Chains A and B, each alone.
Chain A
Amino acid sequence: MRRLTLIAAALALFSGTAAAQSDYPTRPITVIVPFTAGGPTDTVARLVAEPMTRALGQQVIIENVGGAGGTLGARRVATADPDGYTLLLHHIGQATSASLYRKLSYSPAKDFAGIGLITDVPMTIISRADFPATSIKELIETIKTKKQDITLANAGVGAVSHLCGMLLQSALGVQVTTVPYKGTGPAMTDILGSQVDILCDQTTNTTGHIGTGKVKAFAVTTKERLKTLPNLPTMDESGVKGFEVVAWHGLYAPKGTPKPIVDKLAAALQGALKDEKVIARLADLGAEPVSQEAATPAALDKYLADEIAKWKPVIESAGVYAD
């Protein structure tokens, strides 16, 4: 009798969770953005949250949990209940934090279930307006001959501009003088004021200044040329084979989130990436939504693993850590 009750209870419990899964979502979903409100990652999150809210029939709320290069917010999701009500929207930092932080209390590779990639923000290599080089070939020549006399700005340890700078140095096999700033804004101010030579940063930050001629642009860091900056060659076609850095964004659930829920979220994300308004707003930022095939759990899981593997040797050989 007692055993029967137990089985009945177990069955009831099981059907309960099954019902919960098919009903999902029954309450608002929180997407944690591990950066302050108003930044580029926050913008991406708020853009996709709106069409996802419509598709899921529940409010998708953005919560900004900034600090420590995005690891505070990511940690909160890594340890959250895997019920599909707490998600993480993170950028390339999700992959690089695995190597940049040696004392991380969670694992970016193991503690998350990918939902899908969202967008790639391309990057550009620019210099101060009065820098002597006129083409990417000349720029590479100059860097190789002047080495430490070249100053390379970045937006701080772990920033995409820092990653791009590290990759550039390792690809060219030279060490230049790296000048860190707190954020892209001040770094850009010093490029405009001709205090530093080079900066590699997202189109979001650079396209405007390239347009007005206040900075010199040399190349884009994507595999293919951009529609918005068609005159800029890729690094790959300029002789630096395989050079690619993009500030990509992905949506994650905690590991252990039931597959039906993850799939439902992925479908909502795919729908959001087809939304006209999302496409238009991303274009304003110099970015595009990823293809429908990339906005899937499998694609993100694989991409994350690839990116972790790609950046590990670059970061370790540079010997720069964020903790």
Chain B
Amino acid sequence: MAEITLKTLAHSYLKNPTSPEDYAIREMDHVWEQGGAYALLGPSGCGKSTLLNIISGLLQPSSGEVLFDGELVNDLPPEQRNIAQVFQFPVIYDTMTVFDNLAFPLRNVGIDEAKIREKVREVADVLELTPQLKRKAKNLTADEKQKVSMGRGLVREDVSAILFDEPLTVIDPQLKWKLRRKLKEIHRRFNITMVYVTHDQLEASTFADKIAVMYEGQVVQFGTPRQLFEQPAHTFVGYFIGSPGMNFVDVRVRDGKLLSGKHVVPVDQRVCSIIANTHSDNIKLGIRPDFIEVHDTPVDGGMEVDVVGAQDLGTYSVLSLRFGDVLLKARIDEEQSTPKGKAFIRFPQERIGMYVDEYRVEINHE
């Protein structure tokens, strides 16, 4: 059981990193609390696996500290960190039976056989591996093998956290769902800190209480799935979470009005004053396709757009709307008729996010 703290952690695979691009992990601070179910979400190559390997000790960070319950573990090898890690592809010991596989981590530290038998039975029961216990691990199916890999982490009583590195990649979609539920169940039962790496937002949000979104070697947002959806802290989170991703429109303030190209975007005066005070040119307005109001006829505070396409996705449609130079996506329910040619859209004030240099600025809508 442990709380994992990362302090000013940074890592580069190069010997002499110079620019920020040379870092796989850019300087970051983060805390994984004891007993939480966390997901680490991000695209391939954003540093998720690197971060995981640093926590488990397979990799030494270039700088910064890793603390377990406040204790510095930088110099401890993985053997002494009491961490279990499940890899993307199942790792099993071919020549051993399932039972021996599960017993292996316990035997390595010399726990007595009676205790081992009891513990292995318990874990096999949870993972539904009991019928396979006597079989050679080599002859199992991919998902059974992956369950054995997980099981080796779960049998250890001293384990303070289990790290999952995209563990369900090799599993069929239907079984994926089942195994994910199994993991949640195990999490509730054993109260272990779990960190689950994935690039699949659905997987992340069904497994985790809180999700850390990584982008270019940094955690850009750490929050519940709902927070990530409603208030993305970074434009990347907006793009990455939700389907289709968030709309972003370049804007500037002129004469107390918010302009996108030649169009005036009606917003609260508060928004304009906040934006006017920043010195950056990189200002974006973000809004989820789900929150854009689409009307067939002119409405108060509406903006005229060209409808350039509609995609029927069953229970909803996604419209492509040309607004000045940008193409907006808007999501409408199936009951609403698809507008032809021209449409009028409105951005609900409380759904708008303002982004300066890609990061969200808080606007107090009262």
Are A and B co-members of a single complex?
A: no
Residues of B within 8 A of A (CB): none
Residues of A within 8 A of B (CB): none
